[in-house]
């Protein structure tokens, strides 16, 4: 891309002029009797969305919620809508706060399009909001891992593979995609570490992660039987987690063989937190409880910054204050 020369860059801010011009045009339109009805605005906006290739589901949501609002508040024109109307509409809903928020977001998006079309002068809806308590996703626990190990038959190849995968995600925090791409060359049994190259990690940053004696044993046995299966089916690959036919397990989160099996075990044995993401969260929470530094946890998880890790661990401001007080 060619860099613009300084002489072609205008430093003066003309936004006040364009805003004033837009307001003048809108006022003129209304003086001329061209007020836009909510119904007509909705029809125009849905046509624009179809041309822009928006999803049919998104368009149908616009139609449903805008129509619901118009009928609920008995309003005709777009420029009649006020903050009070939005709050009145929300108060009439016998639904959860989360559902209210979803509907409000959709209606706000409609109003933004009305503003872009010049039918509304100000973005008055910006101050309207619905507070929703955040749902905290729990992490897996040592107890749940122990139950899983006790119900699986580790003399069965698939069960051994799945148990090893669950333990590895819980003990190292790696993602399911990294697990699917893990190769024998990534495992150092001399130092009991995973030496992960950037090409199989989401943030592309290589890292070394330690594992314990139990995983040393499980991985060793798994790899031994992997090689026998690959020979049987003529498969030539170095992957640690393979299918019954010796092929690499799917790396996509929605179609991963191991993820599907873990979901099956969770339902069958009532283990609500046995999933790749819950195992990863469990890894992080376990380290935090044992006194690990949040900076080390963040690096192990491959997070871009500490704020992401704090949300991941659900560390609230009171907990931070209590932890810091010990060092005063």
Length of the chain: 328
Whether residue 166 lies inside any domain: the answer is yes
Task: Please state the rounded mean pLDDT for residues 285-299.
Answer: 90
Q: 315 and 253 in one domain?
A: yes
pLDDT per residue as tens digits for the range 252-274: 656 678 989 999 999 999 888 89
Whether 4 has a pLDDT exceeding 60, the answer reads no
Whether residue 135 lies inside any domain: the answer is no
> Which two tokens mark 110?
């409609």
What's the total number of domains in the chain?
Answer: 2
pLDDT per residue as tens digits for the range 56-73: 989 999 999 999 999 999
Q: CA-CA-CA-CA torsion for 241, 247, 250, 256, nearest 10 degrees?
A: -60
Q: 120 and 263 in one domain?
A: no
For residue 302, give the CATH number of its domain: 1.10.443.10
How sure is the predictor about 324, in pLDDT bands with cuts at 50, 70 and 90? Answer: low
For residue 49, give the CATH number of its domain: 1.10.150.130
Q: 148 and 70 in one domain?
A: no
Residues 164 and 222: beta-carbon distance below 8 Å: yes
Q: Give the global pTM.
A: 0.60
Q: 277 and 226 in one domain?
A: yes
Q: State residue 307's pLDDT score.
A: 75
Whether residue 303 lies inside any domain: the answer is yes
Residues 6+ apart with CB under 8 A from 172: 194, 209, 210, 211, 283, 300
Q: 209 and 293 in one domain?
A: yes
Q: Which of 93, 127, 161 is the last residue of a domain?
A: 127
Residues 192 and 253: beta-carbon distance below 8 Å: no
pLDDT per residue as tens digits for the range 214-245: 999 999 999 999 999 999 999 999 999 999 99
Whether residue 29 lies inside any domain: the answer is no
Q: 275 and 172 in one domain?
A: yes
**Residue 286's domain spans which residues?**
142-325
Task: Please state the rounded mean pLDDT for residues 78-87.
Answer: 90
Whether 317 has a pLDDT exceeding 70, the answer reads no
Q: State residue 326's pLDDT score.
A: 67
Q: 152 and 88 in one domain?
A: no
Residue 141, judged by CB atoms within 10 A of its CB (0-12, 13-18, 19+), counts as: middle
pLDDT per residue as tens digits for the range 45-54: 999 999 998 8
Helix (H) or strand (E) holding 121: none
The gap from C-alpha 42 to its chain's centroid, in whole angstroms, comes to 31
> Which two tokens mark 97?
């706060």
Whether residue 201 lies inside any domain: the answer is yes
Higher pLDDT, 7 or 252: 252
Whether 27 has a pLDDT exceeding 50, the answer reads no
* CA dist., res. 233 & res. 88, Å (int): 66
Q: 294 and 202 in one domain?
A: yes
Least confident of 49-53, 98-102, 211-215: 98-102
């Amino acid at each position: 891309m060619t860099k613009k020369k300084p002489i072609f860059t205008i430093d003066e801010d003309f936004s006040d002029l364009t805003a004033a011009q837009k307001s003048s045009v809108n006022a003129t339109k209304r003086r001329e009797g061209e007020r836009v009805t909510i119904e007509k605005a909705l029809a125009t906006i849905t046509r624009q969305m179809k041309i822009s290739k928006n999803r049919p589901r998104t368009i149908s949501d616009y139609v449903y919620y805008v129509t619901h609002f118009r009928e609920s508040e008995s309003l005709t024109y777009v420029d009649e809508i006020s903050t009070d109307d939005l709050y009145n509409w929300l108060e009439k809903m016998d639904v959860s706060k989360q559902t209210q928020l979803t509907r409000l977001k959709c209606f706000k998006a409609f109003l933004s399009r009305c503003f872009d079309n010049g039918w509304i002068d100000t973005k008055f809806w910006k101050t309207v909001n619905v507070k929703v308590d955040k749902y905290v996703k729990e992490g897996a626990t040592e107890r749940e891992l122990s139950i899983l190990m006790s119900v699986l038959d580790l003399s069965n190849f698939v069960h051994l593979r799945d148990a090893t995968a669950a333990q590895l995600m819980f003990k190292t925090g790696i993602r399911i995609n990294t697990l699917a791409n893990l190769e024998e060359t990534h495992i150092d049994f001399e130092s009991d570490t995973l030496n992960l190259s950037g090409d199989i990690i989401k943030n592309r940053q290589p890292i070394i992660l330690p594992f314990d004696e139990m995983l040393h044993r499980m991985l060793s046995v798994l790899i031994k039987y992997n090689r026998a299966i690959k020979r049987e089916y003529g498969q030539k690959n170095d992957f640690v987690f393979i299918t019954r036919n010796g092929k690499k397990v799917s790396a996509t989160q929605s179609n991963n063989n191991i993820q599907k099996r873990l979901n099956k075990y969770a339902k069958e044995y009532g283990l609500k937190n046995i999933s790749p993401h819950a195992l990863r969260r469990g890894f992080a929470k376990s380290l935090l409880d044992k006194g690990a530094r949040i900076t080390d946890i963040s690096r192990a998880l491959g997070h871009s910054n500490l704020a992401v890790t704090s949300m991941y661990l659900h560390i609230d401001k009171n907990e931070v204050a209590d932890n810091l007080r010990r060092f005063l």
